[in-house]
């Protein structure tokens, strides 16, 4: 691993929202092998553990090692489903403690360039009472934080640019490309993809 690599912490707790974070990170790393992923699961000291390995009592390092092996299997299945064409380099970390503190701690230890985290979508009183790990990480991180969500927008076919006389503040976007160290403006008919 060269000094040119990009260290990315991926918060993963086997929830649907963290699956979005994992998938986003794996997609990113498949496009650029310079991204080194640090996939982190945090076992809360007196939490429930993971569904495959329920936790009875306090979390121990032996339990954390079992979780680490289970996560490695989950990630392997995810990779097989993606069938990436490039190498993906990653570490699987399991720590015991408070999730936000452990995510920020790992990011600091490895000099992370980015953190990718899911959000459970808590609102109102739930968020006030329970707090938000993602919100805490976004506020305290010393690097870029990307909050990943499952896509809920439908597929949109190629955009057709039209004038919109009903919106007086509307200005049609201009299209550009950057090639060979030059920025070129493209015609309106140039496809967006």
Under the banding of pLDDT at 50, 70 and 90, the label for residue 123 is: low
Under the banding of pLDDT at 50, 70 and 90, the label for residue 102 is: very high
Q: What is the pLDDT of residue 40?
A: 96
Query: CA-CA distance, 77 to 58, in Å (whole number)?
Result: 29
pTM, full prediction: 0.77
Measured CA distances, 51 to 22, 27, 119, 121, 189 (Å): 18, 26, 19, 21, 52
Mean predicted confidence (pLDDT) in 105-119: 95
Mean predicted confidence (pLDDT) in 166-183: 74
Mean predicted confidence (pLDDT) in 116-129: 66
Q: Of 83-92, 115-124, 156-165, which gets the smallest average pLDDT?
A: 156-165
Query: CA-CA distance, 111 to 10, in Å (whole number)?
Result: 14
Tokens standing for 148? 């990943």
Percent of the chain with pLDDT over 90: 39
DSSP H stretches of helix in 111-152: 124-130, 133-140
Residue 8 has pLDDT above 90, yes or no: yes
Residue 39 has pLDDT above 70, yes or no: yes
Q: What is the pLDDT of residue 159?
A: 57
Query: What are the structural domains of the chain?
Result: 6-148 (3.40.50.620)
Q: What is the pLDDT of residue 174?
A: 72
Under the banding of pLDDT at 50, 70 and 90, the label for residue 145 is: very high
Q: Which residue has the higher pLDDT, 75 or 57?
A: 75
């Amino acid at each position: 691993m060269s000094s040119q690599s990009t260290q990315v912490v991926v918060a993963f707790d086997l929830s649907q929202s963290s699956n979005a974070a994992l998938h986003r990170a794996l997609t990113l790393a498949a496009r650029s092998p310079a991204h080194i992923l640090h996939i982190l699961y945090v076992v809360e000291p007196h939490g429930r553990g993971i569904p495959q390995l329920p936790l009875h009592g306090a979390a121990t390092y032996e339990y954390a090692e079992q979780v680490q092996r289970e996560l490695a299997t989950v990630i392997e299945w995810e990779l097989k489903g993606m069938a990436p064409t490039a190498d993906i380099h990653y570490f699987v970390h399991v720590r015991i403690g408070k999730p936000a503190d452990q995510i920020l701690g790992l990011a600091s230890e490895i000099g992370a360039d980015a953190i990718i985290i899911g959000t459970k979508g808590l609102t109102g009183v739930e968020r006030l009472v329970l707090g938000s790990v993602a919100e805490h990480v976004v506020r305290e991180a010393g690097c870029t934080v990307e909050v990943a969500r499952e896509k809920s927008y439908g597929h949109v076919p190629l955009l057709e640019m039209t004038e919109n006389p009903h919106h007086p503040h509307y200005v049609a976007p201009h299209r550009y490309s950057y090639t060979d160290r030059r920025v070129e403006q493209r015609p309106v008919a140039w496809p967006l993809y």
